[in-house]
Amino acid sequence: MTATPPVSVLLPAWNEAATLGRCLDSLLAIAWPELEIVVCAGGWDGTLPIAERYAAAHPGRVVALEQHRGDGKQVALRRCLAHARHDWFYFTDADCVVPEATFRAVISPVIAGEVDAATGPSEPLPEQRRLPLVRHQWATGRDVDRRRGPVATGLLGRNFAIGRAGVAIAGNLREDVRMGTDYHLAVRLLEAGGTIRFVPAPVQSRYHEQIGPYLRQQSRWLRNTLLHGWRYRDAGELRGSGRIVALGTAILGWPVTWPWTRWAGVGPWAVIVAALVAARVGRGRRLDRETGDPSPPLPLAVGYAGRHTVVDLLVWTRPVLDLAIRRRRLRW
């Protein structure tokens, strides 16, 4: 039987009034002998009062701290860490629902001393599963996760576990990191000789349902990998992210070459775009088979995939503009 020592959940929450209660309810429902939830909450939508009500209703189990404007996720987590009473930590986000099975699967190898940290994937909330843009994100994420081995090189901030010793060798969150907190922690841990395991146990998380927020989130994540890859001289990260940005920029910029390439350029461009659309249709169909959900008619599936391909090309290209403009490089 896996040991069940006391665990502290570190939970930053900024303007998460709509989701924080559901997240806290899922954590409080976990049957763990001693589970402390440290919430650093703030914003202007009433997030902090919700955290305080839970702390009053569950003294000793929920701790509510105030997050101030401009703190950012790193400072909020640092404040949670300073108030956490236990030596084993589980990190998640306020828009997540954490199943007990996922919590146990992710925390167990860390407690057992098999690895320094463990991380798992995410899936959409049940009520979001049939939304086309959400399903596209889910299918893409599952395709990436399907190719993962047990050894991980990063941490998903909404679903990972680590011990106090691991946090210590990674720097105790002391560095000021405005973006990519989870990436930074993983890099520091690996640099210090730590190990991370990927565990295929997902949390349920709120996915973006509108194209605008999705585009901003995804391009920010891609920009983070480029910035941190450069900072840490991670050639593999730079090559992988650089290829994605180069592909998106080339495809979107290809029509500009019409005066020189004419119809000779249209053919290769159309083939590449068609291949991207077909890949998205295939990932969606595979997700439908795995989940047992009905697939949309093929013309509708192709239409969704075409729209999402255009959005992803914009995602892949946007970091070029963000990195070129100084004031946008570190913008959330």
Measured distance CA(109)–CA(294) in Å, rounded: 36
Lowest mean per-residue pLDDT among 56-65, 148-157, 159-168, 179-188: 179-188
> What is the pLDDT, as a whole number, of residue 12?
96
The neighbour count for residue 121, using CB atoms within 10 Å, is 21
Measured distance CA(234)–CA(316) in Å, rounded: 19
| pTM for this entry | 0.87
State both tokens at 193.
């000789």
Asked if the model's pLDDT at residue 298 lies above 50, the reply is: yes
Taking the alpha carbons of 76, 144, 319, 307 in that order, is the dihedral positive or negative? negative
305 closest CA partner among 319, 286, 289, 320: 286
Average pLDDT, the chain: 89
Measured distance CA(292)–CA(315) in Å, rounded: 30
Using DSSP, state whether 149 is helix, strand or coil: coil
Measured distance CA(285)–CA(320) in Å, rounded: 32
Measured distance CA(17)–CA(279) in Å, rounded: 37
State both tokens at 294.
């009905």
Structural domain boundaries in the chain:
7-208, 230-326
Q: Which is more confidently placed, 131 or 331? A: 131
> What is the pLDDT, as a whole number, of residue 1?
44
Lowest mean per-residue pLDDT among 57-66, 79-88, 203-212, 312-321: 312-321
Measured distance CA(162)–CA(87) in Å, rounded: 9
Measured distance CA(149)–CA(200) in Å, rounded: 10
CATH of 7-208, one of 3.90.550.10, 3.30.1490.20, 2.60.120.260, 3.30.70.3270: 3.90.550.10
Taking the alpha carbons of 152, 155, 160, 166 in that order, is the dihedral positive or negative? positive
